[in-house]
Amino acid sequence: MKKFMIWAFVAILSGVGVLCACTLSSTAAEIELPAPRTGGGMSLMEALSRRKSTRTFDAEKRLSNQQLADLLWAACGYNREDKLTIPTARNMQEISLYVIMPEGAYFYDNKNNKLVLVTDEDIRQHSGTQEFAQKAPLNIAIVSDKEKMPNDIFAGTDAGAVMQNIYLWCAANEVGTVTRGMFDGEALSKALKLKETERIILVQTVGY
């Protein structure tokens, strides 16, 4: 009887432990990305000939962390000690990327090749007015900081360079994508906790 009571006590305690673990958020505060693979791959001319927009996405099939690291580096990573894969007017480097996934949204810290949690809420309903964008497992918000780049035209051109890098990486890796201007900027800026001076130029859906 005594043995049974001890076992019952242990079982209840472990049950409580499992319950606590389940109710705690499983979203990591930081995700260290693997080093991006910067060599090899499809030729530029072939990627250009395959570049296109896609508007149907598998809600479940996800990119691996390696693919995400490669994609984000291609989009706006450092390819020299202090310069990026995109050109920016006066080298202001005013563009930031935010990665929106079902488990939350992250800031892409391109200097340190990691993702930093912004919110552990699923904010995909704000990532676009088109239904596929709200269900896709990955959207990338391309954000420009007015404090660094007050010129709207240059903010647009620099964001456009990120957009095309994402398109080309996706074409070269047989991943679908579409860039979008159709999103509720106010709601998404709030959900991403952006500064007053930051504005979202485009949101790009990526997936299979």
Q: Tell the smallest beta-carbon distance from residue 163 to ligand FMN (Å).
A: 7
Q: Pick from 10, 12, 182, 187: which binds ligand FMN (CB under 6 A)? A: 182
Q: Pick from 53, 56, 79, 91: which binds ligand FMN (CB under 6 A)? A: 53
State yes or no: residue 178 binds ligand FMN (CB under 6 A).
yes
Q: Which backbone phi and psi does 105 adopt, to 5 degrees?
A: -125, 145
Q: Please identify, using beta-carbon distances, which residue of 110 and 179 lies nearer to ligand FMN.
A: 179
Q: DSSP alpha helices (H): ranges in the chain?
A: 2-23, 44-50, 65-76, 131-135, 152-172, 185-191
Q: Please identify, using beta-carbon distances, which residue of 68 and 133 lies nearer to ligand FMN.
A: 133
Candidates 7-15, 31-39, 76-84, 179-187: pick the segment binding ligand FMN (CB under 6 A): 179-187
Residues facing residue 109 across a β-bridge: 114
Q: Which residue's CB comes closest to ligand FMN?
A: 182
Q: Which two three-digit tokens encode residue 157? A: 């051109």
Q: Tell the smallest beta-carbon distance from residue 115 to ligand FMN (Å).
A: 25
* Residue list 63-122, contact with ligand FMN (CB under 6 A): none
Q: Tell the smallest beta-carbon distance from residue 181 to ligand FMN (Å).
A: 4
Candidates 9-17, 38-46, 47-55, 94-102: pick the segment binding ligand FMN (CB under 6 A): 47-55
Using DSSP, state whether 204 is helix, strand or coil: strand
Q: Pick from 179, 191, 194, 198: which binds ligand FMN (CB under 6 A)? A: 179
Candidates 51-59, 85-93, 94-102, 119-127: pick the segment binding ligand FMN (CB under 6 A): 51-59
- Own/partner pairs, 59-67, CB within 8 angstroms, 24+ separation: 59/135, 59/136, 59/137, 60/137, 61/137, 61/207, 61/208, 62/137, 62/138, 62/207, 63/138, 63/175, 63/206, 63/207, 65/31, 65/33, 65/34, 66/34, 66/37, 67/173, 67/175
Q: DSSP alpha helices (H): ranges in 51-176?
A: 65-76, 131-135, 152-172
Judge whether 115 and 30 are in contact, CB under 8 Å: yes
State yes or no: residue 52 binds ligand FMN (CB under 6 A).
yes
Determine the Cα–Cα distance for residues 155 and 95; give it in Å rounded to an integer: 8
Total residues contacting ligand FMN (rule CB under 6 A)? 9
State yes or no: residue 55 binds ligand FMN (CB under 6 A).
yes
| Contacts with ligand FMN, residue ranges (CB under 6 A) | 52-53, 55, 130, 178-182
